[in-house]
Chain A
């Protein structure tokens, strides 16, 4: 994959560059602020961008703003946003508009190298990757608790996996159930949440997430 990194901590930036290089990915640019990120993407659009939410000068949400701009201007570029802590607002903002190839991970998730690389690949491939913690909070805070209450425990597990962006095959693997079992659960979930089943994997994830975050 061709990757551009934006992270203001030199330490972490260097670590990520090394990690990606070891995994055989090509790092086109590694920058320390949002302005340089946009410039780098404009020069040579990558498959995927990894951006920290907080970057200079104000350390608030420059990274997220840049990510949203990239989503708008270069729809083919996947965007994986790293955040210090779960901000429902960020997740919700990322989920509005075109939502193919977005990801939102907690920064600490980078420590789980396998999970991080997996999320990065999913986003690069135009799918989604949402941090389990983000999903947990969206599930916990949703205003649709009455509808969620209809779900069985197993269905909730499947919903959480789905919202993180996993495919049915992956969910089956992770929850140790058959793929047809997963499909049965997902259909039940869509029925209970009154979501009209859309085509395509990513759309269903985002439909769920958007529904939870609304």
Chain B
């Protein structure tokens, strides 16, 4: 009830302000009309007059947006065109007048309703108490009606603002479709980048080792000298073990199976263990995130840690994962030399992966450090 009453008072005040604004807007619209009339048929002149008019309309529309937000709890996007602001200003005055009328009616109702309280100050003696009670009942009824009126006008305010300033439903849909197409294309690109990297890993790592191994064996077979043959076979044996290690590394980079088997926390701890720099992991999620989100979070950490170790020579890296209100925040901070390039292939690929989930990735890496890579992902 208290919340309701507070809201009613705020809306009422907002409408009164709206009425004041309407007076200014009406004046502005009239002046703009008068200024445009003589140059209506002359394009160049029309453009010259329109420029200040549109600028004025934008200022008024911005003020209106402020009023709607602060007093009426209505949020409208600031991304509207000047022409639409002018139309809004040209139409809004009528609603301002309506709001004013409603508030005036409320005042009259209130005056009648409470006449019994101060009536004796104005009148010598109350001859007809019955009609006074009736009058005050009527006054209160009027107040009740105007309360409905206030909320009604607030609803109209919202509709008008959205109609002129807010994105129309169609536009909203188109924007979203464009966004989705872009992020889908980015996903495809990111996947292709991954594949390229995997191919490179296989060829430049595993294949080279296997070829080297084969060469050692070939040399051993050609060798006439038993001692040398033994030595070459020993080297080949070592090389085969290294090839296996390399293969395991590559497989791990392609997809960490720990993620499926033991969850995100375990996978991140493995990243920390494998890094050559001390990595602290602060994991504060109450429940395991969805697989898609967990995978992206894992790759953000993995890539950021790898990058830091490779380029920034840090002494310590700290990883933090937490969730708040259906959003997951992943941050990787290192005390290295900074200067990471967010447009570089690794980080750019990450940004695309994150964007594919409607998340965002930021990289803050001033020269001299420290570097902070932070991702925000929707989850739940």
Contacts and interface: CB of A to CB of B under 8 A. Distances in A.
Given A113-B219, A113-B221, A113-B222, A15 B212 contact: yes
A210 interface: no
Interface string B197-217: 000100110011111101111
Contacts of A59: 200, 204
Contacts of B211: 12, 15, 107-108, 110-111
A96 interface: no
Nearest to A59: B200
B281 to A, nearest CB: 34
A15 B204 contact: no
Nearest to B196: A59
B218 interface: yes
6 contacts: A12-B208, A19-B215, A107-B211, A111-B211, A113-B219, A114-B222
The 6 A-B residue pairs with the shortest CB-CB distance in the complex, in nearest-first order: A111-B214, A113-B218, A9-B208, A15-B215, A15-B212, A11-B212
A143 interface: no
Most B C-beta atoms less than 10 A away, residue of A8, A15, A54, A107: A15
Nearest to A9: B208
Given A22-B219, A113-B222, A114-B222, A11 B214 contact: no
A196 interface: no
A137 B29 CA distance: 78
A84 B212 CA distance: 14
A112 B221 CA distance: 11
B221 A11 contact: no
Contact of A107 (B207, B221, B222): B207
A173 interface: no
Nearest to A14: B212
Contacts of B218: 19, 111-114
Interface in A40-61: 54, 59
Interface of A: 8-9, 11-12, 15-16, 18-19, 22, 54, 59, 84, 107-108, 110-114
A11 B203 CA distance: 13
Contact of B203 (A15, A84, A110, A111): A84
B320 to A, nearest CB: 36
Nearest to B200: A59
A1 to B, nearest CB: 17
Given A59-B200, A84-B203, A111 B215 contact: yes
Given A15-B215, A54-B203, A111-B218, 9 more contacts: A12-B211, A15-B211, A22-B223, A59-B200, A59-B204, A84-B203, A84-B207, A107-B211, A111-B210
Contacts of A19: 215, 218-219
Interface in B259-285: none
B219 A11 contact: no
B241 to A, nearest CB: 14
Residue in B215, B216, B222 whose Cβ sees the most chain A Cβ within 10 Å: B215
Max chain A CB contacts within 10 Å: which of B204, B208, B217, B221?
B208
A9 B206 CA distance: 11
Interface in B210-241: 210-212, 214-219, 221-223
Nearest to B204: A9
Interface in B99-131: none
Given A113-B221, A113-B222, A15 B207 contact: no
Interface string B328-372: 000000000000000000000000000000000000000000000
A114 B215 CA distance: 10
Nearest to A16: B215
Interface centre among B209, B212, B222 (most CB of A within 10 A): B212
B216 A15 contact: yes
Contact of A11 (B200, B208, B222): B208
Contacts of B216: 15
B207 A110 contact: no
